Amino acid sequence: MKIRSIVILLLALGTLVLAACSSQESATTPIEPAEVTLNATDIAFDQNRIEVAAGRPVSLTLHNAGVLEHDFTIIEMPHDGEVSTAEMEDEMGGHDMSNVTEEMDIHVAAPTDQSNTIEFTPTTPGEYEYFCTVAGHKEAGMVGTLVVQAP
């Protein structure tokens, strides 16, 4: 009887240790970003609605399939941490951003027939307008909505 109690106790402790280890691993494992590709043509995006989850990193690739320059911009959106992009400064030095005077929270540009990626983590559920800042493009309908859903 005493041996049986010890075995049960050891099994219970082993289960607790394993549970603690697995929860600790998941807490330190980074969350894989949601991969989104947005194609820009003259003068439209191929998606006018993109859905992502709050708290999950997003890796958005803007592919410019048009003959004009294009970008993806969100003026104001709560986000966590750094926004990183592989901005192509040499090729986008003269990028026309129309009359945008506000600071942009999310912005990535891509030259003709190329792609560029931006990574960010939205934090607050809601709907956020994205658009192309090149003169006349937003007015021509190059807009969409990024929907950030509760996790």
Please list the helix, strand and coil fractions of the chain in percent, rounded to the nearest 5, in that order: 20, 40, 40
pLDDT score, position 84: 82
Q: Class of 34-149 per CATH?
A: mainly beta
- Which of 145, 151, 136, 115 minimizes the C-alpha distance to 40? 115
Evaluate if residue 22 carries a pLDDT over 70. Answer: no
pLDDT score, position 29: 80
pLDDT band at 25 (very low <50, low <70, confident <90, very high): very low
User: In sequence order, what are the residues at sequence separation of 6 or more whose Cβ sits closer than 8 angstroms to the Cβ of residue 52?
Assistant: 34, 36, 58, 122, 146, 147, 148, 149
Map out the domains of the chain as residue ranges.
Answer: 1-30, 34-149
pLDDT band at 31 (very low <50, low <70, confident <90, very high): confident
The percentage of residues in the chain with a pLDDT greater than 90, rounded to a whole number, is 63
pLDDT band at 81 (very low <50, low <70, confident <90, very high): confident
pLDDT band at 100 (very low <50, low <70, confident <90, very high): confident
pLDDT score, position 140: 95
